[in-house]
């Protein structure tokens, strides 16, 4: 029980540290950071690699904040989202194969008894889960690029970010918010 309490305290401390003072899923802020990431991938030049890694952490926090708000008004159908939020920090220490198997492939959720086939792929809860999982994957890919210099990892980052931007179109926000994807340089 003490371990669970410490994990939760660590998670909330991490969330507060990276908080962008958004009380909800700030789709505009998420989109801005995501598009900045895509622009750097389009140019094939990463200016400040550590700043880019920190941006992926910011995206994760925005996704968690949106998930927490969603769970406050929809507590009945969000156990999968709870697991994603609780495990967000741990995702950053996984290998690329592990994050693919456990989170993209649903292995972690299935191990907890959740039938991933019943989760609406473009439902709001899954879209919010992806707003954490895809930036976590981008975080790992950018760190791998930093270690190896292999630009294939940057191309994969772009794919992760494009996919999460598609999911954000299904996140209910204020009417003024919209998701736009930057395709050109």
Q: How confident is the model at residue 21 (pLDDT cuts 50, 70, 90)?
A: very low
Residue 100 DSSP one-character state: I
pLDDT at 93 over 90: yes
Prediction pTM value: 0.80
Structure tokens that stand for 89 in this block: 């920090």
Compute, in degrees rounded to 10, the torsion defined by CA atoms 123, 94, 20, 16: 110
**Least confidently predicted of 9-18, 110-119, 167-176:** 9-18
**Distance of alpha carbon 52 from alpha carbon 80, whole angstroms:** 28
Paired tokens of 78: 């969000």
For residues 44-73, give the mean pLDDT: 91
Is the Cα torsion angle 43, 44, 50, 54 positive or negative in sign? positive
Q: What is the distance between the alpha carbons of residues 36 and 30, in angstroms, rounded to a whole number? A: 10
SS3 158: helix
Query: Can you give the length of the chain in residues?
Result: 185
79: left (phi over 0), alpha (psi -120 to 50) or beta: alpha
- Residue 149: left if φ>0, alpha if ψ -120 to 50, beta else—which one? left
| Distance from C-alpha of 116 to C-alpha of 108, rounded to nearest angstrom | 10
pLDDT on residue 24: 55
């Amino acid at each position: 029980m003490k371990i669970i309490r410490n994990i939760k305290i660590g998670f909330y401390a991490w969330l507060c540290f990276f908080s962008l003072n958004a009380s909800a899923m700030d789709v505009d802020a998420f989109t801005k950071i995501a598009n900045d990431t895509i622009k750097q991938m389009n140019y094939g030049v990463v200016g400040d690699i550590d700043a880019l890694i920190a941006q992926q952490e910011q995206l994760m926090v925005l996704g968690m904040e949106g998930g927490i708000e969603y769970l406050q008004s929809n507590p009945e159908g969000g156990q999968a989202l709870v697991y994603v939020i609780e495990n967000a920090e741990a995702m950053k220490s996984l290998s690329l194969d592990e994050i693919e198997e456990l989170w993209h492939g649903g292995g972690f959720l299935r191990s907890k008894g959740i039938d991933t086939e019943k989760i609406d792929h473009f439902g709001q809860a899954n879209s919010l889960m992806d707003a954490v999982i895809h930036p976590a994957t981008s975080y790992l890919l950018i760190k791998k690029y930093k270690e190896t210099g292999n630009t294939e990892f940057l191309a994969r980052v772009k794919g992760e970010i494009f996919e999460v931007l598609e999911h954000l179109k299904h996140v209910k926000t204020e009417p003024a918010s919209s998701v736009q994807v930057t395709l050109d340089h």
